[in-house]
Amino acid sequence: SPGDGQNLVTEDVTVVEGDVATISCRVKNSDDSVIQLLNPNRQTIYFRDFRPLKDSRFQLVNFSNSELRVSLTNVSVSDEGRYFCQLYTDPPQEIYTTITVLVPPRNLVIDIQKEIAVEGEEIELNCTAMASRPATTIRWFKGNKELTGKSEVEQWSDMYTVTSQLLLKVGREDDGVPVICLVDHPAVKDLQTQRYLEVMYKPQVRVSQNYPVQGLTREGEPLELTCAAFGKPQPTDMRWLRVDDEMPQHVVVSGSNLLISNLNKTDNGTYRCEASNAVGKSHADYMLFVY
């Protein structure tokens, strides 16, 4: 049996589609016996340094009493299988080497169910890696944080297409953040694609006191407030009102500014700045107490 005092040595070969596979049949203790290499259909590729097979993709790399080394260029999936090294001794010896062909994914595509999302919404993203072997492992990242998707593998003849689905609840902090789909596959390094999230959110509103810069709001002195609102889309509608009361006659509102030139204690109360956009309405309050 081939295991007894085996004089032949070879190694399995893993190669990326289109690359070169090199098969080496070596003899540990040479006695000038003939070495030959056969393909998976048991056709002779090389007999010593002669090639009976009419396939010029097979080329002799090295031939001696102790080694027959053959290269196979432009490897395709159909070249996969067992190749046999034989030594013409009595009885003949034989071992096999297996060629495994890796195929990188053809392309990588992210599909977003909604191009523009609203904060708080859950959106679905799908990433597809086409026609690879073995099947691809897909990983998801939002910025640099890894997320967990759900993968499905489809086999078509001897290729695998993998689709991973990611459900993502988006907030305002996700606007402009990249979602990355990254492939783990032995035939490729650093294959990834990304899409930037676009998230709409209602305004954030802030009221600040311009004057007096610090300190107390005193009777007879002026008060100036400014309202700042930021949202996506940028709020266009901004208004001042007094909560639970009419706005005093002497208050001047000019755009985002509110001015009371001569404070008195009837001005006490809560002043609210409201801003709205297509997503919704928000407000910020300022409580005035006149000393």
CA angle, 8 then 11 then 49, to 5°: 60
Q: CA of 215: how far to CAs of 98, 163, 269, in Å?
A: 84, 61, 18
Per-residue model confidence as pLDDT tens digits over 79-131 = 999 999 999 888 889 999 999 999 999 899 999 999 999 999 999 999 999 99
Q: What is the per-residue pLDDT for 237?
A: 87
Mean pLDDT of 236-258: 94
Report the mean per-residue pLDDT for the chain: 94
Q: Compute and round to an integer the Cα radius of gyration of the chain.
A: 37
pLDDT tens for 44-57 read 999 999 999 999 99
- Using 50, 70 and 90 to split pLDDT, how confident is the model at 3? very low
34: pLDDT strictly greater than 60: yes
Q: How confident is the model at residue 2 (pLDDT cuts 50, 70, 90)?
A: very low
CATH pick for 8-102 out of 2.30.110.10, 1.25.40.10, 2.60.40.10, 1.10.287.110: 2.60.40.10
Where do the domains of the chain lie? 8-102, 107-190, 202-288
Q: What percent of the chain has pLDDT over 70?
A: 98
CATH 2.60.40.10 fits 202-288, yes or no: yes
What lies within 8 Å, CB to CB, of 54 at 6+ separation is none
Q: Please tell me the predicted confidence (pLDDT) of residue 44.
A: 96
Contacts of 184 (CB under 8 A, 6+ apart): 136, 137, 138, 139
Q: What is the pTM of this model?
A: 0.80
Mention the CATH class of domain 107-190. Answer: mainly beta
pLDDT at 215 over 90: no
